[in-house]
Structures are given as structure tokens and as C-alpha cells.
Amino acid sequence: METLLENIIIYGITALICAVIIVWYFLSQKKKSGKTLAKIEKAKLEGLYEPVSLYPVIDENSCIRTGACIAACPEKDIIGIVNGKAKTINASQCVGHGACFHACPTQAITLCMGTEKRGVELPHVSQNFETNVPGIFIAGELGGMGLIKNAIEQGRQAVENLAKNLPVQHNADYDLIIVGAGPAGISALLTAKKLRLKAIALEQESLGGTVFTFPRSKVVMTSSVELPLYGKVKMFETSKAELLKLWTDVLSKNDLAVQEHCKVESIEKKESWFQVETADGRTYSSCKVLLAIGRRGTPRKLGIPGELSEKVAYRLLEPELINNRNIVVVGGGDSAIEAALLLSEKNNVMLSYRGEAFSRLKPRNSEAILSAASAGKVDLRLNTQLLSIEKEFVTVSDSREGKTFEMSNDLVFIFAGGELPTQFLLKSGIQITKKFGEAVMKH
């Protein structure tokens, strides 16, 4: 009898403990869901909820809440858990590395471009990276994959695909011309060498492409990547200079060179090959062409008097060399914010943005610029626009105050975004389509 009573007590205590654990679990999950929902509402208010590039779409019926997608994502608060299911939070901050896609054990994540409300213009590209023009291929940022790892992978895959249908004999100077020498272009050039193709890379600026137009000094790679003819690259956070040295060394060891400051103006289809003309009048012929250029294309200009002066720039390369200057930074995106913060360390900086408030900024940039403005390190002027740029000053319009004023100025950095090289693509015969939530990567 005593043994039965003891067992009943033990079972009762065990059941009570289990009940407490279950209640605690559901209460903790409810609390976590509440926090995530609050973050989603905040993201909507700050304009961070709608995606602007590649982003994850989660099938709630397949999601089993392992949290693998959240753990794999190196960015902060892109995905969270609500009522036991994964949901996107700050979708506009997603950089499209696809780590969540690969980490999900139930294949519940699809990577998409655009939404029903906001379409994203992209060139028409097949699964083999070939455009609607047979023989012209696209890899990297222009095709929607801007992250270094994805761009390197696409550059390699594109060349491997185009090499399969390359004629043994042709009348062109090259088997392949690569336009652009960023991560995708460098990877493509190395792959071409590996496959013994006669190839050349033409870059309108300098080796590294758009990676080296970032004002930040550090470049983040979310995971290791296999670089053709080199092996695995594990530089998860490195300086642009270190990354450039790596690429330079790899190209040099393989006796490869990039034609820098060589802007391609046109690509014309001939009988069985392409004629590529550059801005300096040079002409090349190639059996195949790979476009590995950035989406930014030509920097968007303000179209104001004095903008063509030498003191105006659209990218920040070496902020550490600029000291004791009166600088105006124009723009309200991450690039403008980061440039203003870097320059403010040794200069007098005014940040001019035409909007009433910043939107779609990375949280750390938003906090940093507001803190710098509050501390007087950056002269933040919202609701302002530059009217003209003179030799020693700039004229600024303040729509909130309804007035114009002049400021002493030595340098102007404009970060007004860039325009998709639409005309160049259309001139080459490449179709451009608008993606409204279409899947780019799915299981």
C-alpha cells in the first residue's frame, strides 16, 4: 500500500513538473512570438519590411521551427519565429547569400526576387546563365546575385556551361570576352584558364569592380568559397586591400591580366561571333561573351550646375587619405551614411538628404548616423538638396525652412544610386523582365 502511494506521489510530481515545463515552454514561445511581431511592426514603420533584392519566402506548412535558418543567417533580425513558424522581419536588409535556403532541413525556403507591389528589373537569363541572345551570358550582380560567394560561384558555372557548346574552330580573336572584373568576372577568367579557353576580361574601372566602390573598409564573406585555380577562400571578414591582393596574386600566378579602364560601349552579333567595341575605340571579337558587370551601371547624377567639376565623386576609395576638408555627402542610403561616418573622423562633414527621415537603412547605420548627428560629429541636413556646386562653396535648398544657403566646401560625394545599364543591354538585344516575387532558387 505504501509502495502504491509512493508511486502515485512520484507520478503526480512528475506530471506536475511536465505540466509546468509545457506551460513554461508555451509562455516562452508566446513571449518570443510577441517580440518578433513587434520587430515586424517596427520594420514596417521604418520601411524595412518590403524586400528590395533577393529574399527568403517561407512555406509555413513545411516549416518545423528548427531555427536553422536563423542560426545560419549572418545578418541581424532577417528571420524570426512567430507561433512556431519562421517569418521574415527586415526583408529589405537581406543580402541574398542564401545561407537560410541551404540550412533549412525541410526545404521550406525559396529565394525570390521582387514582390507583388514592387517589381525588380532583371535581364532574362536561363538556368545556364545564357540570355535570350545565344552566346551572351550573365553572372553576378547584374543577374540578381550580388554577394561575393554567389557571384564567384556563378562566374565559374557560367563559363563551364558556355564552354560545352564552344566551337572547336572559329574566326574570332577570343573564345570568350568577360565584361567586368568583380568577383564573378575574376572567377570566370580563372575558370576559362582552367578550361584552356582563350579569354580576356575588360573592366571599365579597376580590378575588383563594384566591391571596391563600397565606402566601408571591410568586406564580409558569409562563408568559404572555392576560387578556381586557387582553392578554398576563408576570408570571412577582410579588408578590401587584402581581397584585392588575393585576386591580384591568383591572376598573376596564372599569367592572367585584366584590361582595366576599358569600358565596353557595344556588343554586336556578327555571323557566328560577337564584335565588342570599347569607349577608347578598340575592337575585339569573341565567340562568346559573359557580362559580369554590376547593377549600378553608371552612377545617377543630380543634374545640377558644377557637378562635372573635379571635386565631385560618386564613390569613396581611400577615406583615410582625406583630412581637414569641408565635405558634403549627398544621399540617404547605407553607402552615403557609411561614407559620411568614415569621413567625419578627420573632416567637417555635412550629410544632405532630400527626405524627411531615413528608410531602409541597416539598423546599425541608422543608430550610428543619428548618434553622430546628436554628438555634432556630422551636420545632418534632412529635407535638403544641392542646387549648385561652385569652386569654394555649394548652394543648398532647405525645403523645410523654405530657404537656400551657401556652405564652404572642398569636396562633394554623391551617393544617389545607380541605374541599371538598360540601354546597353537593350542595344545588345538582351531582354529585361520585371520580377514580381518569382522564385530564383527553389528546391
- The predicted pLDDT at position 44 comes to 64
DSSP string, 107-140: --EEEEE--SSS-EEEE-B-TTSBBSSTTEEE-S
- Same domain, yes or no: 201 and 248: yes
- 188, 161 in Cβ contact below 8 A? no
- Same domain, yes or no: 178 and 320: no
User: With 70 as the cut, is the pLDDT of residue 335 above it?
Assistant: yes
Q: Is residue 19 part of a domain?
A: no
- The predicted pLDDT at position 191 comes to 96
Lowest-pLDDT choice from 182-186, 318-322, 334-338, 393-397: 318-322
Instruction: Please state the φ and ψ torsions of residue 391, each to the nearest 5 degrees.
Output: -60, -40
Q: Is residue 2 part of a domain?
A: no
Taking CB atoms within 8 Å and a gap of at least 24, the contacts of 366-375 are: 366/46, 366/337, 368/337, 368/341, 369/337, 369/340, 369/341, 372/340, 372/341, 372/344
> In CATH, what number is assigned to the domain containing residue 72?
3.30.70.20
Q: List alpha helices for 167-218, DSSP H.
A: 183-194
The predicted-structure confidence for 191-235, as pLDDT tens digits, reads as follows: 999 999 999 999 987 777 666 655 555 555 556 778 888 888 776
- The predicted pLDDT at position 221 comes to 58
- Same domain, yes or no: 158 and 283: yes
- 155, 209 in Cβ contact below 8 A? no
- Containing 382, the helix (H) or strand (E) segment is strand 379-382
Q: Is residue 144 part of a domain?
A: yes
- 279, 265 in Cβ contact below 8 A? yes
Q: Is residue 104 part of a domain?
A: yes
Per-residue pLDDT averaged across 380-390, rounded? 94
- Same domain, yes or no: 289 and 310: no
Per-residue pLDDT averaged across 11-34, rounded? 70
Q: Which of 247-251, 299-303, 395-399 has the highest mean pLDDT?
A: 395-399
- The predicted pLDDT at position 238 comes to 67
Give the pLDDT band (50/70/90) at residue 137: very high
Q: Which of 94, 113, 132 is the last residue of a domain?
A: 113
- The predicted pLDDT at position 95 comes to 62
- Same domain, yes or no: 289 and 203: yes
- Same domain, yes or no: 355 and 257: no
C-alpha cell at 88: 521574415
- The predicted pLDDT at position 223 comes to 63
Q: Residue 101: which domain range?
A: 32-113
- What pTM was computed for the model? 0.66
- The predicted pLDDT at position 346 comes to 93
Per-residue pLDDT averaged across 398-409, rounded? 92
Q: Is residue 20 part of a domain?
A: no
Give the pLDDT band (50/70/90) at residue 30: low
- Same domain, yes or no: 73 and 125: no
- 347, 324 in Cβ contact below 8 A? yes
- The predicted pLDDT at position 211 comes to 65
The predicted-structure confidence for 244-283, as pLDDT tens digits, reads as follows: 888 889 899 999 888 988 989 999 998 889 999 998 899 9
- Same domain, yes or no: 249 and 375: no
The torsion defined by the Cα of 427, 270, 140 and 430, in degrees rounded to 10, comes to: 40
3-state secondary structure of 319: helix
- Containing 259, the helix (H) or strand (E) segment is strand 258-259
- The predicted pLDDT at position 421 comes to 79
User: With 80 as the cut, is the pLDDT of residue 144 above it?
Assistant: no
C-alpha cell at 233: 577562400
User: With 80 as the cut, is the pLDDT of residue 424 above it?
Assistant: yes
- Same domain, yes or no: 283 and 310: no
293-320 in b/e form (b: 16+ CB < 10 A) is bbbbbeeeebebebeeeebbebbbeebe
User: With 90 as the cut, is the pLDDT of residue 49 above it?
Assistant: no
- Same domain, yes or no: 106 and 127: no
Q: Indicate the average pLDDT of the chain.
A: 82
> In CATH, what number is assigned to the domain containing residue 318?
3.50.50.60
DSSP string, 267-289: EEE-SSSEEEEETTS-EEEEEEE
| Residue of higher predicted confidence among 394 and 29 | 394
Instruction: Please state the φ and ψ torsions of residue 89, each to the nearest 5 degrees.
Output: -115, -80
Q: Is residue 271 part of a domain?
A: yes
Instruction: Please state the φ and ψ torsions of residue 96, each to the nearest 5 degrees.
Output: 75, 30
User: What percentage of residues in the chain have a pLDDT greater than 70?
Assistant: 82
DSSP letter assigned to residue 370: H
User: With 70 as the cut, is the pLDDT of residue 441 above it?
Assistant: no
Q: Is residue 342 part of a domain?
A: yes
Q: Is residue 21 part of a domain?
A: no
- Same domain, yes or no: 264 and 137: yes
Q: How many domains does the chain have?
A: 3
- Same domain, yes or no: 218 and 334: no
